[in-house]
Amino acid sequence: MKTWTEKLNSGGLHEVKPAPINIAGMKAGEIMLVPTARQVDDFIRTLPNGKHMDVQVLRKAMAKRYGAEVTCPITTGFHLRTVAEAAFEAYQQNGDVDAITPFWRVLNAKTPTIARLSFGTDFVTEQRLKEGLKDA
């Protein structure tokens, strides 16, 4: 079985294509970005310390960056989990929170993805409190 880090780095290319259905605020036919896990990770790494961005804003910003109108909510949700789990794997190996992707700048205790994380919410809440992020 692949580790989360292997899943994060598994490669593949993003797609920009018409959205097939209406879902999560997207309209069928809108130009949709289907990002890779690495793109989601790289984008989150650009968020400065103390800056929070919710998933909706992240999706809009990523779409704009890649010339699309919207970003696939389903793929983004899967990749957010991959990014968080891979970051936590790295943290468990090296103990350096400053060396991992700061996924807590996007995820908080109310984000649906958080319930699926293998390590629970305490780590996320602790990091958000350290950075003074609201809804910690």
pLDDT digits (tens, 9 = 90+) for 30-87: 999 999 999 999 999 999 999 999 999 999 999 999 999 999 999 999 999 999 999 9
Domain count, the chain: 1
Residue among 56, 71, 59, 85 at smallest CA distance from 19 = 71
Domain extent, residue 61, equals 4-131
Token output for 136: 């910690």
Residue among 92, 119, 93, 94 at smallest CA distance from 104 = 119
Q: Phi and psi of 16, rounded to 5°?
A: -125, 115
Residue 63 domain flag: yes
pLDDT tens across 89-127, in order? 999 999 999 999 999 999 998 888 888 999 989 999 999
CB 85 within 8 A of CB 117: yes
Residue 21 domain flag: yes
On whether the pTM is more than 0.85, the answer is: yes
Measured between alpha carbons, how far is 97 from 63 in angstroms, rounded to an integer? 28
pLDDT at 106: 96
Residue 15 domain flag: yes
Residue 136 domain flag: no
Given a cut of 60, is residue 136 above it in pLDDT? no
pLDDT range class, residue 25, cuts 50, 70, 90 = confident
Which helix (H) or strand (E) segment holds residue 31: the answer is strand 31-34
Mean pLDDT, rounded, for 20-24: 89
